[in-house]
Amino acid sequence: MLTFKRHNILFYITIVLSFFLSTGCAVGPTHGYIVTETHFPGTFNPENNVKADKEAKGCQYTVLYLVTYGDAGAGSVAHKNGITKIATIDHSTFSLFSGLIRNYCTFVVGE
């Protein structure tokens, strides 16, 4: 009976470790399993003819890989904040324990 319980505990530990070791997609260019905070460039207007008058931010949040909410799409962030011409798009991420809490933000600058 004791061996059966120990076997169950090892099984659940294996499942949890497999979950954490196989996750981490779409976090950013790099990530850690305990804490991750990154800021990285996205795209820019190659013609460089758009003024950086307005800045807007949109984020998507995930909790325990069970619930995700928010909007981090560059087009919708620009539209919601009255940006008609985009100069740059940058991104940032934050993750705690590789998915306990996670966010992905998009920063849009333009006019």
CB 107 within 8 A of CB 90: yes
CB 31 within 8 A of CB 95: yes
User: Percent of the chain beyond pLDDT 90?
Assistant: 39
The predicted pLDDT at position 88 comes to 92
Per-residue pLDDT tens over the stretch 35-90: 888 888 888 778 878 888 999 999 999 888 889 999 999 999 999 999 999 999 99
Mean pLDDT of the chain: 82
Gap between the Cα atoms of 32 and 90, Å rounded:
21
Q: How far is residue 103 from each of residues 1, 11, 51, 58, 107, measured CA to CA in Å? A: 44, 30, 28, 10, 13
